[in-house]
């Protein structure tokens, strides 16, 4: 599904070049639950942004189902982000003026699709259908994250990227999100997850550790 080869990413700060990724290579297959571990500043979020088409590498290739994202124009990248993948972030990024249901349906509306019954089905799945007309600020952090997961699933993506999805939650609430993610994975959903939580990651079938700009497989 995803083939990453010799990816490098540099940033220039105050006239100095910072080499964040120094030739990263790996593959993700359909159905994988892949985790990316590493210290703060190791390049985990940078890598996820590259994989999700939010940024472009300086060198190397990122192929999704045989197509190199480097060759995509901005419109193609937008379609890739809307139709092929989903994102779950640490801080949810729900639109505050939209209801729970409207937030979940937003990817469909952006893609000019009719939400149909899917938003209802997803909100029932994450046990929030009874909160569908509430605004984000009326929900707990765990509830907001479950809304974010439902939103990421709205367009039936082939791959979901999660960036510290439970890093802002207490242990009990985080465990609820973990169980939901693993349940979805057992049903066939592919995940790439950046986390600092070793106990969360050890349950995945693929584990990679980023260190000094390089990637080291821990579990294949």
The stretch 194-199 carries a mean pLDDT of 90
Q: What is the mean pLDDT of the chain?
A: 93
b/e per residue 168-203 (b: at least 16 CB within 10 A): bbeeebbebbbebbbebbeeebbbbbbbebeebbee
Mapping DSSP to helix (H, G, I), strand (E, B) and coil, where does residue 174 land? Answer: helix
CA distances in angstroms from 52 to 6, 163, 197, listed in the order given? 17, 11, 22
The stretch 127-155 carries a mean pLDDT of 95
The predicted structure's pLDDT at residue 183? 93
Q: Would you say 209 and 218 are in contact if contact means Cβ atoms under 8 Å apart?
A: yes
Strands (E), the chain: 2-13, 16-28, 33-37, 59-64, 67-68, 85-89, 159-163, 190-194, 206-211, 214-219
d(CA 102, CA 159): 22
pLDDT band per the 50, 70, 90 thresholds, residue 167: confident
**What is the percentage of the chain residues whose pLDDT exceeds 70?**
99
Residue 31 tokens read as: 């159905």
Residue 129 has pLDDT above 80, yes or no: yes
Residue 169 has pLDDT above 90, yes or no: no
Q: pTM, whole model, 2 decimals?
A: 0.91
pLDDT band per the 50, 70, 90 thresholds, residue 91: confident
Query: What are the pLDDT digits (tens) for 55-87?
Result: 999 999 999 999 999 999 999 999 999 999 999
CA angle 183, 95, 74 (to 5 degrees): 85
The predicted structure's pLDDT at residue 115? 83
Q: Is it true that domain 30-56+71-219 has CATH number 3.40.50.720?
A: no
The predicted structure's pLDDT at residue 116? 84
The predicted structure's pLDDT at residue 220? 63
Closest by CA to 90, choosing from 176, 39, 148, is 148
Task: Quote the longest CA-to-CA distance of the chain.
Answer: 53
| Adjacent-strand bridge partners of 193 | 35, 162
Residue 212 has pLDDT above 70, yes or no: yes
């Amino acid at each position: 599904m995803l083939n990453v080869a010799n990816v490098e990413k540099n940033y220039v700060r105050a006239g100095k070049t910072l080499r964040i990724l120094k030739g990263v290579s790996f593959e993700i297959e359909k159905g994988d639950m892949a985790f990316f571990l590493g210290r703060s500043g190791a390049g985990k979020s940078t890598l996820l942004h590259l994989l999700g088409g939010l940024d472009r590498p300086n060198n190397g290739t990122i192929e999704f189902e045989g197509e190199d994202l480097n060759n995509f124009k901005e419109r193609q990248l937008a379609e890739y982000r809307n139709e092929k993948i989903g994102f779950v972030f640490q801080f949810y990024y729900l639109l505050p003026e939209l209801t729970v249901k409207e937030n979940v349906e937003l990817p469909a509306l952006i893609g000019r699709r009719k939400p149909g019954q899917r938003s209802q089905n997803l909100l029932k799945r994450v046990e929030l259908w009874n909160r569908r007309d509430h605004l984000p600020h009326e929900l707990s952090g765990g509830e907001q994250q479950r809304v974010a997961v439902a939103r990421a699933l709205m367009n039936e993506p082939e791959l979901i990227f999660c960036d510290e999805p439970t890093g802002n939650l207490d242990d009990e609430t985080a465990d609820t999100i973990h169980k939901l993610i693993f349940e979805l994975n057992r049903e066939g959903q592919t995940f790439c997850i950046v986390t600092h939580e070793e106990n969360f990651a050890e349950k995945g079938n693929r584990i990679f550790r980023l260190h000094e700009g390089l990637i080291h497989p821990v579990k294949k």
